[in-house]
């Protein structure tokens, strides 16, 4: 972001930050008061319990544990309240600086869209939040943070069943209007181990494409791109039309930019992009940190990275028949 | 197991391998033909745009009559593949000279044509890449062992890549 834009943004959100700082201090005080009362009451009850039991005993620890639980619940409530206010008052203003965009903290990309992308298996548990949607230049975009998990049940020798969840995908999920017309489907996935197995590996990859319904393996001319990605498509020519040499290099840059195994699908005129990242996207600064313009830098950086995808992939160039 | 059974088993296995190899070569040859047909279809799309282009620009570009006539004649000759380079070059010339005609550049028809031509040029380029990829695949299969043994016996011959002619390398520069 340019310095002049940054200064404008600072001037624009400064009053909101001041108001929210007062709210943060109130929540911090609530936490401190809660801590004081919880600790005080726990000590008194523990002493009473010690007196009844004629000296120190193991039961004295019970009120302390109980006090910790009560404190954690109340502090978490205060943190959520602050976080909710930040997302309601600050994030929408930050988002508007990157395009004609709106922000909704409690909405997200739908599970149906995640499944339609066909870049991962369908999840058993799906969560998404922080939806940003609107247009950046000529490109319509939708994006949110997504956490998709697979359920696994284990039964031990005694017949007890435990359920665990493993992450299929966690990160940023983006759908953007693509700037070229196409009819088929094309998928770009990170290159796996099979890529190093030569012809045998290609055979495995081809089989994988058929089983997953992604289509035939497309072998492209760019060796760097081929080392980083495998491409499947229902139409060999169309895949090459989408993946021009400049677009391949842009995708490589995007992968480097996010330092992540980016995957993409081109379906019904749209680009579905999944960027795995463990970090928590678009979250407010810690409750204990004084709220200044500098403390929203992480959110700002994340927004810049996420909305920068449009420019990175040159999606606003509309020189083809699709406008 | 008798030696005769083993021999018969090996013979059947050899036959299966030969059939597999033969079918593989046929599949690759057909894929190359299919890719060529797709390239030809895109060249046809570009040819189909020529009358539209000529009709749109001839009212404005009065000094480019020779170029427009040459382009029309080229289309009438009909050989899309042989005339690919020449047609790309002539279209490129018209588009470049259109810069000098502000009224033409502002015309909605012309803008639409520019977009369509840019699109078709990229589609032709993609088709060419797809065709060359299938030819590489086919040529590798007939030139490497054991495909080479079968290829010579059954008349599979090496296919040429589709290279842009020298004049076509100067692709139409279309600016919007």
Q: What is the pLDDT of residues A118-171, one digit of tens each?
A: 999 999 999 999 999 999 999 999 999 999 999 999 888 888 889 999 999 999
Of A254-258, B152-156, B163-167, highest mean pLDDT: A254-258
pLDDT at A35 over 80: yes
CA A139 to chain B, closest CA, distance in angstroms equals 17
CB contact under 8 A, B118 and A244: no
In B, which residues are within 8 Å of A239 by CB distance? 126, 130
Q: Inform me whether the pLDDT recorded for B175 exceeds 50.
A: no
Identify the residue whose tokens are 């021999």. Answer: B7
Q: Could you tell me if A238 lies within 8 Å of chain B, comparing CB atoms? A: yes
For chain B, say whether A183 makes contact (Cβ under 8 Å).
Answer: no
Structure tokens given for B94: 């018209």
Residues in chain A: 323
Range A17-40 average pLDDT: 87
B118 Cβ under 8 Å from any chain A Cβ: yes
pLDDT in tens, A266-319: 999 999 999 999 888 888 888 888 888 888 888 899 999 999 999 999 999 887
Kindly tell me if the per-residue pLDDT of B135 is higher than 60: yes
Mean pLDDT, chain B, rounded, equals 85
Distances (CA, A) of B105 to A285, A317, B60: 52, 19, 10
Give the tens place of pLDDT for each residue, A213-249: 899 999 898 888 999 999 999 999 999 999 998 899 9
CA nearest to B128, candidates B40, B44, B26, B30: B40
Q: By CB neighbour count within 10 A (0-12 exposed, 13-18 middle, 19+ buried), where does A275 fall?
A: buried
Q: Which residue is associated with the tokens 């005129």?
A: A269
- Chain B interface, mutation test: which of A237, A243, A318, most B Cβ atoms within 10 Å? A237
ipTM of the complex: 0.75
Instruction: Select the residue of B114, B115, B127 nearest A237 (Cβ to Cβ).
Output: B127
* Cβ–Cβ contact A214 with B under 8 A: no
Average pLDDT, chain A: 89
Q: Can you tell me the distance from the alpha carbon of B114 to that of B92, in angstroms, rounded to the nearest whole number?
A: 11
Mean pLDDT of B21-38: 92
Residues of A in Cβ contact (< 8 Å) with B119:
180-181, 320-321
Neighbours of A173 (CB within 10 A): 26
In terms of C-beta density within 10 A (0-12 exposed, 13-18 middle, 19 or more buried), how is residue B136 classed?
Answer: middle
End-to-end CA distance of chain A: 27
* Per-residue confidence band for A100, with pLDDT thresholds at 50, 70 and 90: very high
pLDDT, one tens digit per residue, over B83-105 is 788 888 888 888 888 888 888 88
The strand pair at A161-177 and A229-233 is best described as unpaired
Rounded to two decimals, what is the model's pTM?
Answer: 0.82
Lowest mean pLDDT among A189-198, A265-274, B25-34, B85-94: A189-198
CA-to-CA dists, residue A272 to A44, A142, A215, A247, A279, angstroms: 59, 10, 17, 15, 20
Of the listed ranges A54-63, A174-183, B97-106, the least confidently predicted one is A54-63
Q: Please report the sign of the dihedral spanned by the C-alpha atoms of residue A192, residue A195, residue A200, residue A204.
A: positive
Calculate mean pLDDT across residues B107-134. 90
pLDDT tens string A58-70: 777 888 888 888 8
Q: How far apart are the first and last CA of chain B?
A: 77
B159: pLDDT strictly greater than 50: yes
Instruction: Determine whether the interchain pair B115/A319 forms a contact, defined as Cβ–Cβ distance below 8 Å.
Output: yes
Structure tokens given for B35: 């890719």
Tell me the nearest-neighbour CA distance from B141 into chain A, angstroms: 12
B119·A321 Cβ contact <8 A: yes
Comparing alpha-carbon positions, the chain A residue that sits nearest to B118 is A320
CA dist A294 and A53 (Å) reads: 54
CB atoms A244 and B126 under 8 Å: yes
| Angle in degrees, CA A246, A252, A255, rounded to 5 | 145
Spatial contact of B86 and B67, defined as CB atoms under 8 Å apart: no
Structure confidence at residue A143 (pLDDT): 97
**pLDDT of B170 above 70:** no
H-state helical runs in A97-153: 111-117
* Chain B environment of A244 (Cβ under 8 Å): 122, 125-126
Half-sphere exposure of residue A317: CA atoms within 13 angstroms, side-chain side: 13
**Contact B33/A at CB under 8 A:** no
A106-122 average pLDDT score: 96
Helices (DSSP H) in chain A: which residue ranges? 3-52, 61-89, 91-96, 111-117, 198-212, 223-228, 236-242, 245-258, 297-307, 309-312
Helix (H, G, I), strand (E, B) or coil at A165: strand
Best of B115, B120, B161 to substitute, by most chain A Cβ atoms within 10 angstroms, is B115
**Statement: residue B172 has pLDDT above 60:** no
Please count the residues of chain B: 176
């Amino acid at each position: 972001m340019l310095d002049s834009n940054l200064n404008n943004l600072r001037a624009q959100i400064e009053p909101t930050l001041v108001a929210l700082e007062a709210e943060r201090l109130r929540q911090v005080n609530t936490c401190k008061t809660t801590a004081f009362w919880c600790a005080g009451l726990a000590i008194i009850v523990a002493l009473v319990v010690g007196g009844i039991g004629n000296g120190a005993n193991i039961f004295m620890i019970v009120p302390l544990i109980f006090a910790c639980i009560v404190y954690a619940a109340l502090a978490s409530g205060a943190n959520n309240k602050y976080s909710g206010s930040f997302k309601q008052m600050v994030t929408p203003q930050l988002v508007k600086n990157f395009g004609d965009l709106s922000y909704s903290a409690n909405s997200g990309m739908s599970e149906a869209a995640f499944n339609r992308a066909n870049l991962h298996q369908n999840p058993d548990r799906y969560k998404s939040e922080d939806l940003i949607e609107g247009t950046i230049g000529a490109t319509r975009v939708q994006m949110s943070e997504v956490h998709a998990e697979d359920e696994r049940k284990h039964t031990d020798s005694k017949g007890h069943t435990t359920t665990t969840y493993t992450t299929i995908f966690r990160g940023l999920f983006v759908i953007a209007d693509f700037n070229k017309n196409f009819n088929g489907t094309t998928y770009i996935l990170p290159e796996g181990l099979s890529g190093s197995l030569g012809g045998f590996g290609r055979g495995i990859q081809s089989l994988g494409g058929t089983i997953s319904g992604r289509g035939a393996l497309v072998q492209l001319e760019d060796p760097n791109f081929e080392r980083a990605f495998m491409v499947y498509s229902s139409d060999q020519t169309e895949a090459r039309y989408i993946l021009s040499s400049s677009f391949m290099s842009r995708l490589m840059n995007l992968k480097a930019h996010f330092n992540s195994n980016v995957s993409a699908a081109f379906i019904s005129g749209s680009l579905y992009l999944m960027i795995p990242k463990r970090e928590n996207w678009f979250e407010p600064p810690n409750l204990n940190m004084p709220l200044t313009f500098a403390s929203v830098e992480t959110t700002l950086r994340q927004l810049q990275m996420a909305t920068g995808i449009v420019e990175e992939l040159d999606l606003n160039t509309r020189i083809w028949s699709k406008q | 197991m008798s030696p005769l059974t083993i021999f018969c088993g090996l013979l059947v296995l050899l036959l299966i391998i030969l059939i597999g190899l033969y079918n593989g070569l046929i599949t690759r040859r057909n894929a190359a033909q299919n890719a060529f047909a797709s390239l030809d279809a895109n060249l046809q799309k570009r040819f189909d745009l020529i009358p539209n282009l000529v009709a749109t620009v001839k009212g404005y570009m009065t000094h480019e009559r020779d170029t427009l006539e040459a382009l029309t004649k080229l289309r009438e000759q009909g050989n899309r593949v042989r005339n690919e380079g020449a047609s790309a070059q002539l279209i490129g010339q018209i588009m470049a000279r259109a810069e000098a005609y502000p009224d033409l550049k502002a015309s909605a028809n012309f803008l639409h044509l520019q977009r369509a031509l840019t699109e078709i040029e990229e589609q032709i380029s993609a088709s060419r890449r797809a065709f060359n990829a299938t030819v590489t695949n086919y040529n590798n299969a007939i030139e490497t062992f054991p495909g080479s043994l079968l290829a010579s016996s059954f008349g599979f011959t090496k296919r040429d890549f589709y290279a842009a002619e020298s004049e076509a390398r100067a692709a139409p520069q279309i600016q919007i």
